[in-house]
Amino acid sequence: MVSSRKRGRQEMEAVEPTPEPPKEITMLDRIRNMWEFAALTQYIFTFGRAVKIDENLDTEDLRTFTSPISRIYLTATSPEIFDEYTRRQYVARAPERNPFGVEEEPAKFLDFDTFTKIRVLQQLTQWTMVNPDRIRDRMEEKKDTEQAVWRIEPFGWDSEDRTYILLDDNRLYRQTEPPPPPAPTPKPKKNSKKAKAAQRASKRRKVAEAVESETEAADESMVGETVGEIKEDDGLGGMKWECIAVSYQDYTSFLATIEKSRDPNEKILWKRLSEDVLPILEKQEEARQRKAAQKARELQNLEKLATAKRSSRIAGKMEMQKHEEETREAERKRLAELSMAKKEQEKWLKLEKERESRMVTREQRLKEREARRILHEEELANLSEDSKKIDAGAGRLSERHLKAEIEKKKQALEELAEEEDWIFDCICGAYGQIDDGTHINALE
């Protein structure tokens, strides 16, 4: 049922939602959305080691990576002539995009805006690929199959068939193809109603054009300049290049937008990002938070030191105490190491003495066994002689008793012969006839 009362202005303003203000695009956002910046960071990640660029370089701080990137192309020159040398390269290879000018003194690279610097550095990295074999020779991947990992393939697509690309530093970009050109409008047939209407409209336009010709002529140059700026070729052929996610928070926000999507492409994209990328970023985020917490503690300590009103005498005393503490700690560590070394030396000396003692004992035992063997052989020989006398009828012992003594001596000799004459003697203290069925190795 339709309400009989009209709502007032205040009620309408309360019901109608207030549109959210557009997000302000920061300079960092503009830099991240440059395809040249993406290509530059990917080059550093892939070929940085080959061209001697620090792998821990912060690619979002131009102040830290401008200098080493500039040296990529200057293997045979010095940084002092970078501007002139780079201008020559632009004049020879891309004169229409030369930012250094044609004056006698080239423009300074350090005076360029951030975006021009990025374009120049990215162009230099491209020119290093004119002779790709020089880069290949410095890379660890030598085979063609191994070098295939240098290529960046599409990571996924969304419901609008926009392509998502994941770079090696876990930046997620989106590439949107340019819209197709509009189809040509068919001309109406002669003597038809549309043709007559078009003729009448043409006459009206001619009258209007005669009146407004001066105004259009005045505005033509301004419109041409605006269109020229809009349609300036950025090297992508009309495609749109956007940075979608860099940090862990960026990824979680983006994944929330496609988590409940029914589109097959977005389901696959959500699954791959959640399983392959998000765990890595979680670890990086934890490390970043620990680093930030440590930095915050350090800043807090610095603030405490700055706000505290300590005199130079107290500061000097603290420094002296710190130095004394470090000296005591170093001395304590030195004495502990010296004590440990002495104990280790005493241990080995003790083991060596014990080993020498065991060697003497073993030699004595061998001599005793040899003496017993000689005595047993002598007694056996005497018994054999008595046996011969019994046979001749001149023996003193009975034959049975004599045979028992002979067997006893023979058995004693056999036992001596069966005794193993090896001893395992290691400097670690292991000693004796150790036989557990495994190989035995002595320490050296």
Evaluated on CA atoms 205, 207, 211, 213, the torsion sign reads: positive
Residue 281: which residues within 8 A CB-CB, separation 6 or more?
A: 170, 247, 248, 251
Separation in Å, CA 239 to CA 21, 30, 118, 329, 334 = 26, 16, 19, 64, 67
Above pLDDT 90, what percent of the chain?
A: 30
Give CA–CA dist 127/89, Å, rounded: 9
State pTM to two decimals: 0.55
pLDDT of the residue at 4 = 43
H-type alpha helices, 193-258: 193-230, 248-258
Residue 176: which residues within 8 A CB-CB, separation 6 or more?
A: 160, 162, 163, 239, 240, 242
Residue 70 near residue 82 (C-beta atoms within 8 A): yes
Tokens of 232: 């300036």
Tokens of 86: 């780079």
Mean pLDDT, the chain cut into blocks of 10 residues (444 residues total): 46 48 81 93 87 66 53 56 89 94 89 90 90 86 83 93 94 93 67 60 52 48 44 76 94 95 95 95 92 92 76 79 92 91 87 79 77 76 69 58 75 69 62 61 60
Tokens of 380: 């056996």
Tokens of 372: 């017993």
